[in-house]
Structure 1
Amino acid sequence: MSKNPLPFGVNDIGAFARSVRKSLDGLERSPSHVEMLNLLARAGGFRNFQHFKAQHEAGTSLQTFPPVQAEVDYRLVKQLVRLFDDNGRLVRWPKKFTLRMFCLWALWSRFPARTSMTEREISDWLQERHCFGDHALLRRELVDRRLVTRTPDGRVYTRIEQRPPAEAAALFEQLRK
């Protein structure tokens, strides 16, 4: 019986890793080959390995499935909320990269969808949403982290539509309150 390679991709490797770890923690022994295939497929958003294989054979992309529902780290969300004032403005730029990314996600969530902005407009827009006076840093980071795209001449900025991580979505909810 020949083995056909099946490409496997996930939307969020962090959520995937947490799901695999959680599944492995519940086992008393090492999983068999078939159990491991099912475990990985479930962590990737499929019911089991057969479901994954059937979707591959049907030509359906993994991108059509919602990502695995990740558990939210509310301790991290609480830490992130403290970086914003009562008006939802970013008070300071954190030192940790992970915290920075979630702050960028918070800005991304407020960026008008399917709307283009000039460099001046986005600079003014960012000025209103932070308190530490470095809108250029935020503008560059949004582009570098692929949350916003800009034309090669830097004149037009547009939000890149994508699904935020679970903690970012929880942060959006907290900032709306």
Structure 2
Amino acid sequence: MSRTPLPLYAGDISALARSLRGQLCACERTPGHVELLNMLARSTGYRNFQHFRTQADAQVRLERPLPQPQSVDSAKVLRAARYFDAAGQLTRWPGKFSHREPCLWVMWSKIPPRRDMNERQVNELLLEGHLFEDPALLRREMFDRGMLARTPDGRVYRRIERRPSPEALALIRLLGERRTG
């Protein structure tokens, strides 16, 4: 059970008392803790205590302020964009470690979600997205950074669903706009 206090509001105390009295009279024995919680919840218009608790938790989440969007380092996005041509293909592998991650996220975005693929299928997708013809390098980097999962025997690959960094998202959008614009 939840340890956070759950406030219970009754619009009409008289209706609450009548409902509780009726439910208590219908019991053949003294109700237990959970039964009393359910009775109280039903007396205030909920189906049961679980319904009441779910509604109270949802209300707390709604009252929390929304998280502020993270700021994007535009210079980092533009630096990473230089590694891609007008068609959105990665032209060369970045030498700097910090430039590699946004580029890998772009390649990650080209892999379909929730789909099992073999190594050849992953390589084909990666080859479509870059020009230096080294899908093994990209595949290994994505695996090492937790963007791609594979079975121990290496037969089945699957994209790991994670949220890219704000810079990577901005880069993916920028490259998409280049292709369509």
- The TM tier, using the shorter chain, reads 0.5 to 0.7
Q: Kindly state the Cα deviation for residue 86 of structure 1 after the two structures are TM-superposed.
A: 1.2
The residue that corresponds to 1:79 in the other structure is 79
The residue that corresponds to 1:148 in the other structure is 148
- Using structure 2 for the length normalisation, give the TM-score: 0.60
Supply the distance in 1 between the matched residues of 2:127 and 2:68 (Cα, whole angstroms): 35
SS of 1:128 mapped into structure 2 = helix
> Structure 1 regions of 5+ residues with no counterpart?
1-57, 59-64
Task: Determine if the alignment matches structure 1 residue 119 to structure 2 residue 113.
Answer: no
> Structure 2 regions of 5+ residues with no counterpart?
1-56, 58-64
* Residues 97-138 of structure 1: CA deviation (Å, up to 9, x unaligned): 111111111111121011111001111111111111211100
The residue that corresponds to 1:94 in the other structure is 94
Q: What is the CA RMSD across the aligned residues, in angstroms?
A: 1.9
Supply the distance in 1 between the matched residues of 2:90 and 2:66 (Cα, whole angstroms): 30
Supply the distance in 2 between the matched residues of 1:67 and 1:114 (Cα, whole angstroms): 27
CA spacing shift, 1:137–1:67, aligned 2, 3 Å: farther
Identity %: 49
Q: Kindly state the Cα deviation for residue 66 of structure 1 after the two structures are TM-superposed.
A: 7.8
Supply the distance in 2 between the matched residues of 1:147 and 1:67 (Cα, whole angstroms): 24
CA spacing shift, 1:135–1:70, aligned 2, 3 Å: same
Q: Kindly state the Cα deviation for residue 69 of structure 1 after the two structures are TM-superposed.
A: 2.2
Supply the distance in 2 between the matched residues of 1:114 and 1:66 (Cα, whole angstroms): 29
Supply the distance in 2 between the matched residues of 1:99 and 1:122 (Cα, whole angstroms): 22
The residue that corresponds to 2:109 in the other structure is 109
- Using structure 1 for the length normalisation, give the TM-score: 0.61
Supply the distance in 1 between the matched residues of 2:68 and 2:101 (Cα, whole angstroms): 20
Q: Which runs of 4+ in 1 moved over 2 A?
A: 65-69
SS of 1:116 mapped into structure 2 = coil
Count of residue correspondences? 115
SS of 2:117 mapped into structure 1 = strand
- What code does the residue aligned with 1:157 have? Y
The residue that corresponds to 1:131 in the other structure is 131
The residue that corresponds to 2:172 in the other structure is 172
Supply the distance in 1 between the matched residues of 2:110 and 2:66 (Cα, whole angstroms): 22
| Structure of greater Rg | 2
